[in-house]
Amino acid sequence: MQKRKLGSNGLEVSALGLGCMGLNHAYGSPVDKDTGIALIRGAVERGVTFFDTAEAYGPFVNEKLVGEALAPFRDTVVIATKFGFDIDPRTGERRPGGTNSRPEHIREVAEASLKRLGLETIDLFYQHRVDPAVPIEDVAGTVRDLIAEGKVRHFGLSEAGAQTIRRAHAVQPVAALQSEYSLWYRGPETDILPTLEELGIGFVPFSPLGAGFLTGKIDASTTFDSTDFRASVPRFAPEARDANLALVELVCEVADRKGATPAQIALAWLLAQKPWIVPIPGTTKLTRLEENLGAVNVLLSADDLRIIGEAAAKISLQGERLPPAMLKLSGL
C-alpha cells in the first residue's frame, strides 16, 4: 500500500484509510462484532494504516470495536476519533443543542475515548462539528494542552469553514481536515482546498463514494431501511437519484475504458487531486474493501481528469447532501 503525508505535520498514513462508522452506525443494521473485527484486521493485512471512528458512532460502540480489532497493531496504525457532540454518557442520546466543545467536555471525551480504544494517546483528535457557542481558539487551545500532556498527537477539524481553520491553526497547528468531498460533492474546491494547501494541512474526504452512489449499485428504484441515514437525505430521494445517475454513467464509462470499477475511478479521481488527500471509504464487506484498495493502482492521466472534469461540469446534480438538521451543523 502506498503512503501519503497528511500535510506538513509529519503524519504519514496509507493512501486510503478505512472509515469504520458504517460497521455499526448510520447505514442500517450493524454488523456483528466478529465480522467487524475481521473486516478491520483484513484492512491491516492489506496495508491500511489509517482508521477513522468517533464517540458519536453508535454512540460509543464503534470506538470499542475499533479498539479491540486494532489492539494487536497499535504500534503500526493511526487511529482517528472525534469529539464535539453533546452525548449523554449514560444513555448515548444526543442532548438538545447538538454540539458541545467546551474545554471540560473535550477533556472528558478524550479520557473516555482513550479508555474505549485502549490507547495511551489518540493519534488524531478531530472536532466533529464546529460549536458556535465556543470560540475555536478555546477548542484549539484545549487540544494543544492535551497534546502537551501526551494524550493526543495531532489536532483535526471536521466540516469547518476556511476562516475557522485559520483561527484554529494559529493556536494549534491543524494536521488534517475531514469533510465530505467526491465527484458528487465538490464544495471544498472553492475555499477549503486552497486554504489547506497554503497552511500545509492534510485533507481526509469522507463519503468519497457519495455514500455508495458512485459505485453504480444504487438507482432510482433502490430502497433504504429506516435505520439508514440515506432514507432522509434529499439527494437520495428517488427523483434526485434519477437525475444524478448521469454522473454515475460518466464514472462507469471511464471505468470501462480504464479496466476498473466505478468505485475505483471515484477514489482514483480523489487521489489525483492532491498528494495530501487521503480518502476513507467505508464498507462492511471484504470484497468491497479489496476493490476500494485497488484504486491506488488506477492511474488517471491529465487527459482522463480533463475529460471527467468537463463532462461532470455539464451535469446538474440534484438534492442537498445532508438532511437539513445535519446541514446546519456544517461550517461549509
| Amino acid at the residue 266 | A
Asked if residue 234 lies in contact with residue 320, where contact means CB atoms within 8 angstroms, the answer is yes
Asked if residue 19 lies in contact with residue 281, where contact means CB atoms within 8 angstroms, the answer is yes
| Amino acid at the residue 319 | G
pLDDT of residue 331: 62
DSSP state of 223: -
**Alpha-carbon span 277 to 268, nearest angstrom:** 11
Name the 3-class secondary structure at 102.
Answer: coil
Q: Residue 19 is inside which H or E element, if any? A: strand 18-19
Mean residue pLDDT of the chain comes to 95
Q: Domain coordinates of the chain in residue numbers?
A: 3-328
pLDDT tens digits, 191-227:
999 999 999 999 999 999 999 999 999 988 899 998 8
**Alpha-carbon span 84 to 315, nearest angstrom:** 35
Give the β-pairing of 94-99 and 85-87. Answer: antiparallel
Name the 3-class secondary structure at 233.
Answer: coil
Name the 3-class secondary structure at 26.
Answer: coil
Per annotation, catalytic residue among 27, 57, 126, 185: 57
Phi, psi (5° rounding) for residue 206? -95, 165
C-alpha dist (Å) from residue 117 to 56, 59, 86? 14, 13, 19
pLDDT of residue 259: 97
Q: Residue 13 is inside which H or E element, if any? A: strand 12-14
pLDDT of residue 326: 75
Low-confidence stretches of the chain (pLDDT < 50) are: none
Q: Where are the beta strands (DSSP E) in 117-225?
A: 122-127, 152-158, 174-180, 202-206
Q: Could you tell me where the DSSP H helices lie in 18-135?
A: 33-45, 61-70, 103-117
* pTM of the predicted structure, to 2 decimals: 0.95
CATH of 3-328, one of 3.20.20.100, 3.30.505.50, 3.30.450.40, 3.40.50.720: 3.20.20.100
Whether 57 is a known active-site residue: answer yes
pLDDT of residue 105: 97
